Amino acid sequence: MAAGCTARREGGDMIAAPSTVKVLVATRPVDFRKGADGLAAMVREQIGHDPFSGTIFIFRSKRADRLKILAWDGSGLVLMWKRLEQGAFRWPPISDGVMRLSASQLAALVDGMDWSRLHARDIAQPTATS
């Protein structure tokens, strides 16, 4: 970049998932040398889910500044990798198992924001139409 130029953030909505998609976070860090096939095997064998179900799976590295996203798009496995240039992702406590996120929480996580502060409001279902 030329001196005096400031970096602008472009393409902020890179990850857009429908609100109905299931998003699971593996809470224990994984070996980041694993590729799509290795992570798919981990999903099946250790997490107990089908990696070809359409669920989005999120994996973290030992360093909290990296994540991998694994998903089946109907024609193949998609693997995305992201490293934050500054700071770290906000992760749930390390434990065995998985944690479910909403599509909005996924977007916040990928943007490096504190996804744990996003909560859906309970809205009462209408009993009659007007």
Q: How far is CA 79 from the centre of its chain?
A: 11
Q: Which two tokens stand for residue 65?
A: 């500044």
4 band by pLDDT with thresholds 50, 70 and 90: very low
Q: What are phi and psi of 88, to 5 degrees?
A: -145, 155
Torsion of CA 112, 30, 17, 47, to 10 degrees: -140
The residue-averaged pLDDT of 19-46 equals 92
Q: Is the pLDDT of residue 49 over 60?
A: yes
Question: Looking at this protein, which amino acid is placed at residue 69?
Answer: I
**DSSP conformation class of 120:** P
107 band by pLDDT with thresholds 50, 70 and 90: confident
Of the listed ranges 5-9, 27-31, 121-125, 126-130, the one predicted with least confidence: 5-9
Residues composing the chain: 130
Contacts of 111 (CB under 8 A, 6+ apart): 12
The residue-averaged pLDDT of 48-69 equals 94
